[in-house]
Amino acid sequence: MPALPTRAARLGALAFLLRPTYVLTEVVTAAATRGGYSFVSDSVSRLGEVGCTPDYCSPKHAVMNGSFIGYGVLLAGGAALLARPLGPWVTGLLVVSGASSVATGLAPLDQDATLHAIAATPLFVGQPVALLALGHRLREERPVLAKGLLVTGLVTGAAAVGFILSGDEQVGGALERLALWPVLGALAAYAWPHARRRTG
């Protein structure tokens, strides 16, 4: 019989289950922009730009940057609380990814583009690798989920490479979101059983 989830594991699972709401912060921030914003061609980071130009402004940039920080804390904290079932490698990768998200929120793109890129890179590397490692870890215990995690890891990893290579051209925003958004659902699917109180 699988071990009952501990209180720490349930709290960590709750953190992962809350993270898909991150998408709403992008929608809210994008809706408030002036000058036009495209989810297909514009990067997420443009929503966090602090300064305004005659052509573009993101008045709710604080919402976006705060979201990077808050949801990064949920990722790192959730992983730490779920460290036992996740295993040390997956936990470490997700904690680093969460810290990267926090750093991204503290270094807006238009304030220092180089620092912003350095801050964000571990997130794009760490999350796909974590999903691949977690899928491998669960291949016997939860085979269906394991396959889903492996596929998601491959897709998000390929999208991350595509985003980095494409820069801000044409479909850069779509590739970036393909690298980020599926991870939210994948980790929530993993977390769901850990969030429930099970009785013998």
- Reduced to 3 states (helix: H, G, I; strand: E, B; else coil), residue 107 is coil
pLDDT value for 191: 96
Question: What does the mean pLDDT of the chain come to?
Answer: 92
Q: Could you please report the per-residue DSSP string of 123-173?
A: HHHHHHHHHHHHHHHTTTTSHHHHHHHHHHHHHHHHHHHHHHHHTTSTTHH
Q: How many domains does the chain have?
A: 1
pLDDT digits (tens, 9 = 90+) for 69-89: 999 999 999 999 999 999 999
pLDDT at 170: 78
Quote the domain boundaries for residue 181: 7-193
Q: What is the pLDDT of residues 23-73, one digit of tens each?
A: 999 999 999 999 989 999 999 999 999 999 999 999 999 999 999 999 999
State pTM to two decimals.
0.92
Q: What percent of the chain has pLDDT over 90?
A: 84
Helix or strand (DSSP H, E) at 175 = helix 172-195
Confidence of residue 169 (pLDDT cuts 50, 70, 90): low
Residue 1 has pLDDT above 50, yes or no: no
Tell me whether residue 74 is in a domain: yes
Q: How confident is the model at residue 195 (pLDDT cuts 50, 70, 90)?
A: confident
CA angle 61, 65, 70 (to 5 degrees): 140
200 assigned to some structural domain: no
Q: Residue 2 falls within a domain, yes or no?
A: no
| 84 located within any domain | yes
In the structure, what pLDDT confidence band is assigned to residue 197 with cuts at 50, 70 and 90? low
Convert the pLDDT of each residue in 90-101 to its tens digit. 999 999 999 999
